[in-house]
Amino acid sequence: MNKGIEREVPVRALLIIVALVVLVVGGGWVQTADAQTSQDSTISYKSGEVTANGLTTIQIDKQDYALLSDAVITDDEGKPRDRKELVPGAFVKFHVSTRRGGIDNIILILPK
C-alpha cells in the first residue's frame, strides 16, 4: 500500500506541470491571436495625407472620396475625433466601403 502512495505523488506533480504548460502556451496563443485580429482589422485600409476637406467629400493624396455622414473618425489610440481635425497635412488610414460608396472609417494618425 505504501508503493501506491509513492506513485500518486509523482503523477500529481506531472499533472500540475502539464496544466501549467498548457496555461502558459495557451495564454501566449490568445495574445498572439488578439494581436493578429488587431492587424487584420486594418488590413484593408489605405493610408495617405489629407489634401482637402469639403462638406461631403475628403481629398486624400489628391484623390476625392465621399465621406459618409455616419463615418467613424478616431485617432490611432482609438479615441473619437471630430471631422474638423481632418485638416490638410494630417496623415490618416481609411476604409472605403464599396457597398456604401464612400469612406466609412478614418483613423487620424497623431504626430509622435
pLDDT in tens, 77-97: 999 999 999 999 999 999 999
This model's pTM is above 0.85 = no
pLDDT at 104 over 80: yes
Q: Which domain holds residue 52?
A: 46-109
Residues 53 and 90 in one domain: yes
**Mean pLDDT for all residues in the chain:** 79
Residues 51 and 80 in one domain: yes
- Of 76, 54, 78, 79, the C-alpha closest to 66 is 54
For the chain, what is the domain count? 2
Residues 29 and 60 in one domain: no
48 falls in which pLDDT band (50, 70, 90)? very high
Of 27 and 105, the structure prediction assigns the larger pLDDT to 105
The pLDDT score that the predictor gives to residue 67 is 95
Q: How far is CA 81 from CA 11, 60, 112, in A?
A: 57, 17, 17
